[in-house]
Amino acid sequence: MDTSPIVTSPQLTPTDLERLSYLRSIQPARSTTLRSPSRGDRIADLVTQIVGSWRFIIIQSCLLTVWIVLNVVAWIGHWDPYPFILLNLALSFQAAYATPFILMSQNRQSTLDRDNAQQDLDCDIKAELEIELIHEKLDLLKEREIADLHEKLDSLKDREIANLHLLVRSQAETIARIEELLLRQITTDRR
């Protein structure tokens, strides 16, 4: 858990800062433990897995075909003549019995999906707020750096101007001495 202080800024509202503090305090999604499914959940998942498989569809289709063929051809006797009322009763019973299992499994899966979506949303919001905060800190650092550079440039400029004044004064003194020597030379040469 990140315990670094949150810098107040004009970009992030107090609500954003409060949300970021909350998101920093909750457990990350990758370390969240899932509750183990109950016995009923496991049975519902198993029934749904079996009923929703191609293997089940193929086996059921074969059994239905055999049932219909045996009752139409009547090799054994017509225990369920056309319109196959007993077959319809068996299929209705199967559908009525399997539907609650399928619905329970779907409800559990939708709850897991909702929880995962909420964790994803929290993670995305946290990342967005953290990135905004990092941008603001970088902007603040950039502003400080620019202010420091301006200060250093002003200091350097003042120091260079002072050095130039000393140099100009030194050059002026040298020129004055040279002029004085030249004037002496000229006056001595005229005599």
Residue 116 within a domain: yes
**Residue 1 confidence class, pLDDT cut points 50, 70, 90:** very low
Arithmetic mean of pLDDT over the chain: 86
**Residue that wins the pLDDT comparison between 82 and 91:** 91
Q: At what angle do helices 85-190 and 14-25 cross, to 10 degrees?
A: 120
Residue 125 within a domain: yes
Unique residue bearing structure tokens 């239905």: 64
Total tally of structural domains belonging to the chain: 1
pLDDT tens digits along 138-166: 999 999 999 999 999 988 988 888 888 89
Residue 123 within a domain: yes
The shares of helix, strand and coil residues in the chain, as percent rounded to the nearest 5, are: 80, 0, 20
pTM: 0.57
Residue 180 within a domain: no
Residue 96 within a domain: yes
Q: Measuring CA to CA, which residue among 53, 35, 46, 41 is closest to residue 108? A: 41
> Does the pLDDT value for residue 35 go beyond 80?
no
Residue 28 within a domain: no
Residue 151 within a domain: no
pLDDT of residue 143: 94
pLDDT of residue 82: 85
Residue 126's domain comprises 14-21+38-144
Residue 42 within a domain: yes
